[in-house]
């Protein structure tokens, strides 16, 4: 699995130095060794950097930050919180849909969990960790992905202005602590998981706020319907 080759072209100049760093070489070696041992890794190779295929570093309008890819078969497809059509909608995404339905944006929850339509409009659905071993949640934490995605956030922070960052839960908020709040809009809440959604995620109005902010910056708002 050659990670360097898979990174979409518009991102490569910004990541050139990153790809030579010790942590990235170590991450590459770790993934190669896992595959050699016959371990199944999600998402599929073709979807590993899928979130980056839809946006260049200077065209990101919204970042929705997740943590790990889903670890069950056919769930992960390279976009945070999203699953392919035909796969059961995960609980956190159901709560995201609930919040959207209550937000006066005319959103009607679909029967699927595929968020590709958001990505196509400039929403970077970014997980902090981009791979996971099948059926082992969090198995690729602290292998190097966190440093790589810190760099992605830094690139967006410096290369764009007026980007909306949605940081849900303590993990995402810690990861986004260096974002320039004067230059960008940072929306924070508890995580949409069933364990915490009722403590402030439901009713947070992040999707409406994001669109109001984008309009104010004379950008086209996101059509959240799916």
Tokens of 65: 């930050």
In the sheet where 62-66 sits, what is the strand order?
123-127, 62-66, 164-168, 185-189
68 carries an active-site annotation: yes
Catalytic residue among 32, 68, 150, 180: 68
Measured CA distances, 119 to 1, 98, 134 (Å): 24, 20, 25
Rounded to an integer, what distance in angstroms lies between the CA atom of residue 61 and that of residue 54? 11
CB atoms within 10 A of CB 116: 17
Residues 185, 210 contacting (CB under 8 angstroms): yes
Instruction: Tell me the catalytic residues.
Output: 68
């Amino acid at each position: 699995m050659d990670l360097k080759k898979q990174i979409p072209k518009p991102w490569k100049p910004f990541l050139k130095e990153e790809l030579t760093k010790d942590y990235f070489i170590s991450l590459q070696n770790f993934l190669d060794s896992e595959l050699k041992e016959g371990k199944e890794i999600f998402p599929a190779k073709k979807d590993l950097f899928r979130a980056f295929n839809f946006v260049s570093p200077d065209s990101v309008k919204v970042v929705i930050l997740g943590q790990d890819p889903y670890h069950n078969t056919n769930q992960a497809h390279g976009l945070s919180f999203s699953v392919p059509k035909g796969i059961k909608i995960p609980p956190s995404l159901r709560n995201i849909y609930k919040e959207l339905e209550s937000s006066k944006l005319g959103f009607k929850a679909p029967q699927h969990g595929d968020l590709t339509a958001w990505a196509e409009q400039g929403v970077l659905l970014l997980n902090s960790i981009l791979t996971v071993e099948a059926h082992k949640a969090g198995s690729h934490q602290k292998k190097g992905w966190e440093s790589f995605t810190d760099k992605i956030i830094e690139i967006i922070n410096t290369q764009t202005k007026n980007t909306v960052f949605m940081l849900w839960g303590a993990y995402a908020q810690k990861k986004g602590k260096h974002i320039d709040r004067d230059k960008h809009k940072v929306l924070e809440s508890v995580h949409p998981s069933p364990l915490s959604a009722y403590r402030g995620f439901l009713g947070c109005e992040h999707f409406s706020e994001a669109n109001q902010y984008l309009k104010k910056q004379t950008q086209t708002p996101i059509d959240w319907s799916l």
